[in-house]
Amino acid sequence: GQNIDQPTEMTATEGAIVQINCTYQTSGFNGLFWYQQHAGEAPTFLSYNVLDGLEEKGRFSSFLSRSKGYSYLLLKELQMKDSASYLCAALDSNYQLIWGAGTKLIIKP
Amino acid sequence: GAVVSQHPSWVICKSGTSVKIECRSLDFQATTMFWYRQFPKQSLMLMATSNEGSKATYEQGVEKDKFLINHASLTLSTLTVTSAHPEDSSFYICSARGQGDTEAFFGQGTRLTVV
């Protein structure tokens, strides 16, 4: 079956770095997305990886290893506004998004 | 990124009535639209996928006669929750994708409360 695993909740300190991991098993693979979702709001796009390696975009970076079925989202210089859920989603062979349950990130001062 | 507008942002309705939610792609042609439902503290659950001009494909367990989806144009899809019940109260989110695109863009979501 198709499955996405990511931690349920993580806590980090303002100004620090946090890495949110995601492993996936899908029928075919056409890339992996990371979304940020604040409570009561729709998800907003953070990154898309389809090739192996690290993509850096400001304070956020995303890494993909296709052979390992693994990705992570790296958040640097954490700010209080980064408190949100982070959703990992893989695009399968039918171009359907398979969603993880999301990782709730709590930032403490 | 492209803009997807979802309306209304929130709606309260009486049990037994129907509610229509609109999803519009404002600056691109959305050949495929996705409708999701999200319960509190849970991830997005895909309800159905619709391609313009075709009948929607519903996920297992989603009643197609209760959740009517229309995708009659390349810029508009609607979800109608018929005979709504309190258990239908949820956050409904649409996303739209253009021909040949991999990324789908999300609407703002609709908070439905059935009383």
User: How confident is the model at residue A60, as a pLDDT?
Assistant: 97
| Residues of chain A found within 8 Å of residue B34, distances taken between Cβ atoms | 97
| Residues of chain B found within 8 Å of residue A48, distances taken between Cβ atoms | 102-103
Beta-carbon separation of B106 and A42 below 8 A: yes
> How far is the alpha carbon of B45 from chain A, nearest alpha carbon, in Å?
8
| Residues of chain B found within 8 Å of residue A100, distances taken between Cβ atoms | 43
Q: Please name the residue of chain B whose CA is at the shortest distance from the CA of residue A34.
A: B103
**Residue A14: how many other CB atoms lie within 10 Å:** 13
For the stretch B12-70, pLDDT in tens is 999 999 999 999 999 999 999 999 999 887 888 999 999 888 889 999 999 999 999 99
- A-B Cβ pairs (cutoff 8 Å, strict): 43
> How far is the alpha carbon of A33 from chain B, nearest alpha carbon, in Å?
9
DSSP A81-109: GG-EEEEEEEE-TTS-EEE---EEEEEE-
pLDDT per residue as tens, chain A (109 positions): 789 999 999 999 999 999 999 999 999 999 999 999 998 898 999 999 999 999 999 999 999 999 999 999 999 999 999 999 999 999 988 888 889 999 999 999 9
Which candidate from B103, B106, B107 shows the least CB-CB separation from A48? B103
User: How confident is the model at residue B1, as a pLDDT?
Assistant: 64
Sign of CA dihedral A77, A79, A83, A88: negative
Beta-carbon separation of B44 and A87 below 8 A: yes
Chain A residues in contact with chain B using a Cβ-Cβ cutoff of 8 Å: 30-31, 33, 40-45, 48, 50, 87, 91, 95-97, 99-102
CA B108 to chain centre: 11
User: How confident is the model at residue B104, as a pLDDT?
Assistant: 87
Q: Please name the residue of chain B whose CA is at the shortest distance from the CA of residue A86.
A: B43
Beta-carbon separation of A96 and B44 below 8 A: no
For the stretch A22-50, pLDDT in tens is 999 999 999 999 999 998 898 999 999 99
> How far is the alpha carbon of B3 from chain A, nearest alpha carbon, in Å?
12
C-alpha to C-alpha distance for B69 and B34, rounded to whole angstroms? 10
User: How confident is the model at residue B52, as a pLDDT?
Assistant: 84
Are A4 and A97 in contact by the 8 Å Cβ rule? The answer is no
